[in-house]
Amino acid sequence: MYLEHFGLNEQPFKITPVTEFFFSGANRKEILEALIYSISEVEGIIKVSGEVGSGKTMLCRMLLEQLPKHIEPIYLANPSLSREEMLYAIADALELNVEHERIGVMMQNIQNKLEAKARDGKRVVVLVDEAHAMPIDTLEELRLLYNLQVGSFKLLQIVLFGQPELNSKLDQPNMRQLKDRIVHNFNMQPLSRDILENYLMFRMRKAGYHGPNIFAPGAIKLIADASVGLMRRANVLADKSLLAAFVEDTHSIETRHVQAAMRDSELTAKSRMPDKKVLYAGAGLLLTALIAWGLWSFLGNRPESVIVSTLGAVSGVVSTAETQAAASSTPATASSSVAKTIVSSASSVVAAPLTSAPLAASAVAADAIVVPAAKTIPQTNSSASRYEQRLAAGQLLLDDPRAVASIQLFYNEPVSADRMEGFLKRAEALGKLSDIYLLPAKFNGRAGVRVLFGAYHTVDAARTASAQELPQRYKDAFATTIYLLQ
């Protein structure tokens, strides 16, 4: 209905997996390549887990298309098979005539066929979709099939695709033998808000769209919250939002269009809770910032000796809190580290309160760079590393309502403070350290850090800066994206 209105050749947001619409972002491409390598070179069962609508079936279809020619796949789309039905399905895929054969005879015929293929340089892999719904007896039969080998060479590879319930099933005591044979675990994470924007426009352009980005920042945020980052839900909301915009005869997807799509789909916005460590860090930073602000107000006209003495007492309190947090194993390390940065920096900038610096008139007119409070933090401080400083700057950036978007350079997972310190030292040599912001994040369940450049009033300003103001060294080294702060 809306194809001609938006200049599309086909529907961009079909929920049926179509490999031409495979999105390689959010580690999907890396997982696909790792699967191909593991199936080709590594022995052991492989597990891919993810929530409903996270893209598992699409990944499985891509795997079927891109496996090397010497790998022969057997795709089991129906997991609700008994052990006998599963063996018949595998035998049928191997072109064996085992009708009415006993289980033992069928297993022997399957082994003989697999041995013949191995002699011809072939390798067989069984791909099980929706494996969380497979009966335990059938999973156990799969394990017995995996045990088939010639010498030290395994005759069969197995890849299980399933929802998180698969993990619970494998945790059962009677599943420990199968679980012990799983050598690779891949988790399909939901799309973050900044990745979701890239995903939506990727699908639009694959469908033939050639215009500018049609999704307003507020619409993207609402789709991200309502879909919880799951591709299938995002597809449903985006499709209905396009229809709502078509009815209004507009080419821009605004918040009201997504709200109409949500009502029609009976979905509500559910903001994802941040990682606990991030929550503790934010709470600790807010507390420390309030203490610092109070100190500036109270000590503004006091003698220097009083100021130094009082700041030393506050620093001692923070240090004690950090020690207690470590002793109780609470995730407050990031919080106390940032807190010490603020307090130690405070003693070096007695004359400068922690308030947002005003925007230059030219910056306001150009709708360009925001000058957040983070830039008042000294860049060289004896007690705070560059890494700690830019973490503090990142938190203040999130708290600045004027900052809408930034340029994401890359993210690190797991966090390596030493490597980040080296990167920040080079940024300082370029004169760009004050433009770098670090945000704690979580990737594939592991703590990491997001590295951003600059802060801007609008997404368009961030895109312009990415093209015109970003140092050439960063353009050459990183695949940058726009990151929404609000």
12 within some domain: no
Hey, what amino acid is at 369? I
**And the tokens for 11?**
């529907």
Which DSSP string do the residues of 277-327 spell out, in sequence order?
A: HHHHHHHHHHHHHHHHHHHHHHHTTS-HHHHHHHHHHHHHHHHHHHHHHHH
227 within some domain: yes
Which of the residue ranges 8-22, 276-290, 405-419, 462-476 has the most confident prediction, judged by mean pLDDT?
Answer: 8-22
Co-location of 131 and 112 in the same domain: yes
Residue written as tokens 């369940």? Answer: 445
322 within some domain: yes
Q: Where a domain ends, among 306, 327, 355?
A: 355
Burial class of residue 168 (count of CB atoms within 10 Å of its CB; 0-12, 13-18, 19+): exposed
Helix (H) / strand (E) containing 447: strand 446-456
At residue 346, φ and ψ (nearest 5 deg) are: -60, -40
22 within some domain: no
For residue range 154-188, what is the model confidence (pLDDT) as tens digits?
899 999 999 989 988 998 888 989 999 998 889 98
What gap in Å lies between CA 54 and CA 70, rounded to an integer?
29
Query: What was the pLDDT predicted at 486?
Result: 66
Co-location of 351 and 364 in the same domain: no
15 within some domain: no
299 within some domain: yes
When divided into structural domains, the chain yields a total of: 4
Co-location of 44 and 110 in the same domain: yes
Which of the residue ranges 295-304, 394-403, 411-420 has the most confident prediction, judged by mean pLDDT?
Answer: 394-403
Co-location of 259 and 235 in the same domain: yes
**And the tokens for 481?**
């994206």
**CB atoms closer than 10 angstroms to residue 229:** 22
Co-location of 195 and 175 in the same domain: no
What gap in Å lies between CA 31 and CA 134, rounded to an integer?
23
pLDDT band per the 50, 70, 90 thresholds, residue 356: very low
Domain range holding 324? Answer: 273-355
Closest CA to 451 of 431, 418, 473, 481: 481
pTM above 0.85, yes or no: no
With 70 as the cut, is the pLDDT of residue 366 above it? no
Hey, what amino acid is at 475? K
Co-location of 222 and 285 in the same domain: no
Q: What is the CATH number of the domain that holds 391?
A: 3.30.70
Q: What is the CATH number of the domain that holds 120?
A: 3.40.50.300
Q: Please give the average per-residue pLDDT across 65-78, as a whole number.
A: 92
Please, what is the average pLDDT of the chain? 77
Q: Please give the average per-residue pLDDT across 203-208, as a whole number.
A: 94
Co-location of 319 and 380 in the same domain: no
Which DSSP string do the residues of 329-391 spell out, in sequence order?
A: T-S-HHHHHHHHHHHHHHTT-TTS-SSPPPPPHHHHHHT-B---GGGGS-S-BTTB-HHHHHH
What gap in Å lies between CA 24 and CA 162, rounded to an integer?
20
Co-location of 211 and 284 in the same domain: no
Bridge partners for 157 per DSSP:
125
Q: Where a domain ends, among 325, 355, 385?
A: 355
Co-location of 73 and 178 in the same domain: yes
Which of the residue ranges 210-219, 275-284, 360-369 has the most confident prediction, judged by mean pLDDT?
Answer: 210-219
pLDDT band per the 50, 70, 90 thresholds, residue 313: very low
Which of the residue ranges 60-69, 147-156, 447-456 has the most confident prediction, judged by mean pLDDT?
Answer: 60-69
Contacts 24+ apart (CB under 8 A), 241-249: 242/2, 242/6, 242/12, 242/13, 243/1, 243/2, 245/2, 245/214, 246/1, 246/2, 246/5, 246/6, 249/5
13 within some domain: no
Q: Please give the average per-residue pLDDT across 48-58, as a whole number.
A: 91
Co-location of 398 and 461 in the same domain: yes
Q: Where a domain ends, among 287, 321, 355?
A: 355
Asked whether the beta carbons of 76 and 125 are under 8 A apart, the reply is: no
Co-location of 290 and 411 in the same domain: no
Residue written as tokens 């006998």? Answer: 84
What gap in Å lies between CA 141 and CA 136, rounded to an integer?
9
Co-location of 80 and 177 in the same domain: yes
406 within some domain: yes
